[in-house]
Amino acid sequence: MGADQHNDWRASVASALEWWRDAGVDCEIDDNPRDWLAKMPAPDKLPAAVREAPVEAFKLPETLAEFVEWRVGPGTPEAGWPGQALGTQGDAATGLMIVVDMPDREDDTAGALLSGSAGRLFDRMLAAIGRDRQSIYLTALAVKRPPAGRVTDEAGQQMEALIRHHLSLAAPKRVLALGNAASRAITGLDVANARGSLRAVHHDKGTSEVVASFHPRFLLERPAAKADAWRDLRVLIGGLE
């Protein structure tokens, strides 16, 4: 009809799956009835070549500087994934650590986390609380974006262990966990159940107070949730001004 009707169905499917994950959907359904109480057969084991190495196999660095360098190196769980590894941004000494799930699609080209439209909204969120990217410490659970934007359960467990080690080394006063994956990794709860209050998370260097809220990409899809996100930000900065 005079316009380019070509659509990349792979990108569309990945985008839909990503939206549902941010909305809290973390399991599949189908149209056929299923006995949910029936014992499921053991899954076939993946070949060793495609299994992620267990976290226990890594000797994790014991200082923040060494860990940050190691996290984007060849020995990490994501080392075999395509794309470049995107490490931390900002300064841990600010006392405010912000955690997202993974790089967005635009981030690999830009070479920085939250670089696209979600990043522009993120910058406005920071400005609203008197912060910018130099006055926070930004990191991601996964330093690379996995194929189709989905992390396997095994890899997800590794990322949770690594972010908790990172949290212990950085020892921030406050943490903002953006999105369900980040919230679950740090608080053990989805955003819907974790948001609205400060939650204490204990680590080797003491305790950090965590606020869970919506990822900027979710807010772009659901603008009505911005009011709740603003309330979360006010909880986050309470006592920090």
Give ∠ CA 95-24-76 in degrees, rounded to 5.
Answer: 55
Mean pLDDT of all residues belonging to the chain: 84
- The count of domains in the chain is 1
What tokens were used for 6?
A: 């070509």
Q: What is the pLDDT of residues 127-154, one digit of tens each?
A: 999 999 999 999 999 999 988 788 888 9
Could you tell me the residue range of the domain that residue 222 belongs to?
52-75+84-237
- Do 148 and 17 contact (CB within 8 A), yes or no? yes
- Tell me if 61 is assigned to some domain: yes
- Tell me if 24 is assigned to some domain: no
- Tell me if 47 is assigned to some domain: no
Cα–Cα nearest to 93, from 162, 165, 163, 173: 173
Q: Report the C-alpha gap between 198 and 210 in whole angstroms.
A: 5
- What is the predicted pLDDT for the residue at 15? 61
Q: Would you call 62 helix, strand, or coil by DSSP?
A: coil
User: Which CATH number belongs to the domain containing residue 227 in this structure?
Assistant: 3.40.470.10
- Tell me if 33 is assigned to some domain: no
- Tell me if 43 is assigned to some domain: no
Q: What is the pLDDT of residues 148-172, one digit of tens each?
A: 788 888 999 999 999 999 999 999 9
Q: What is the pLDDT of residues 74-117, one digit of tens each?
A: 999 999 999 999 999 999 999 999 999 999 989 989 999 999 99
Q: Report the C-alpha gap between 60 and 71 in whole angstroms.
A: 9
- Tell me if 222 is assigned to some domain: yes
- Tell me if 44 is assigned to some domain: no
Give a three-class secondary structure readout of 109-150: HHCCCCCCHHHHHHHHHHHHCCCCHHHCEEEECCCCCCHHHC
Q: Which of 48-52, 63-67, 214-218 has the lowest mean pLDDT?
A: 48-52
Q: Report the C-alpha gap between 191 and 24 in whole angstroms.
A: 8
Q: Report the C-alpha gap between 175 and 124 in whole angstroms.
A: 18
- Tell me if 7 is assigned to some domain: no
Q: Average of pLDDT values for 50-69?
A: 74
Record the pTM.
Answer: 0.77
Q: Report the C-alpha gap between 60 and 104 in whole angstroms.
A: 26
- What is the predicted pLDDT for the residue at 25? 56
pLDDT of 35 over the 70 cut: no
